[in-house]
Amino acid sequence: MAAKALRAAEHVCVLTGSGVSAESGIPTFREAQTGLWAQFSPQELATPEAFAANPKRVWQWYAARRAMVRAAAPNPAHAALVTLASRVAHCTLITQNVDDLHERAGSRDVVRLHGSLMHVRCSAGCPGAIQPTDEQHGDVPPCPSCGALLRPDVVWFGEPLPMTPFEAARNAAVACDVFLSVGTSNVVEPAASLPWTSATHGATVIVVNPTMDGQRTGPSILPIEGPAGVMLPRLIAEAFAGRRPRRQSESN
């Protein structure tokens, strides 16, 4: 039934969560708090107040996390979503993750709800984002425009989601035929509301997750229990068997 819905869809909206990144070996925020970092609470590492109090500590924590991401590789779930985008007329990929594995797999125009771990921005609000170099892992570098400290380009605890990507995500959730929720528990708001908003607007919601604990149920919600790297390639292969790409794969 899920494969049939995907095959018939003109617009598919995809939301990915930490479960997709975990299958590439990227630890969640709390799982990354090991060794030196185990002594610190999230409030000491990922809040505006933490950065104001000890910017070097926060900067080095995020530099360590960037190194973990650079050592990881996209998994079959990331690749399957690139294939999906080439098979449907319109595909909107939304992620709660802050790594760059979707882009490295070949996805384009990813809607990032929580920002990017791989970029930094001016803490004083200068526009634009910068990709830090490997050498910038010790002291906090200054903004090249104004001299204020650079900070990770992510949404910290206590900060609102940036409205532009969230509005794009919500608009896609309302407009799509199929909403595909992958590797997320769908309990952390406001992203958690997106699949259920989509369902109320008539879309079929497909939930791919190792467990369905906490997920909603209903006639238009189709659960697929299991790891994304196994279940997504299987679902997409079944849905589009015999169908040629509607456009060239983004990875080419």
**Active-site entry in 78, 102, 114, 119:** 114
Consecutive H or E run containing 49: helix 48-53
How deeply is 174 buried, as exposed, middle or buried, from its count of CB atoms within 10 A (0-12, 13-18, 19+)? middle
Contacts of 19 (CB under 8 A, 6+ apart): 182, 183, 184, 209, 210, 227, 228
User: CA 84, CA 21: separation in Å to the nearest integer?
Assistant: 18
Which tokens go with 66?
A: 């960037």
User: CA 100, CA 103: separation in Å to the nearest integer?
Assistant: 6
- The letter for the amino acid at 147 is G
User: CA 31, CA 91: separation in Å to the nearest integer?
Assistant: 31
Contacts of 3 (CB under 8 A, 6+ apart): 235, 238, 239
The reply to whether 90 belongs to the active site is no
Which tokens go with 201?
A: 């607007």
Which residues are catalytic, by number?
114
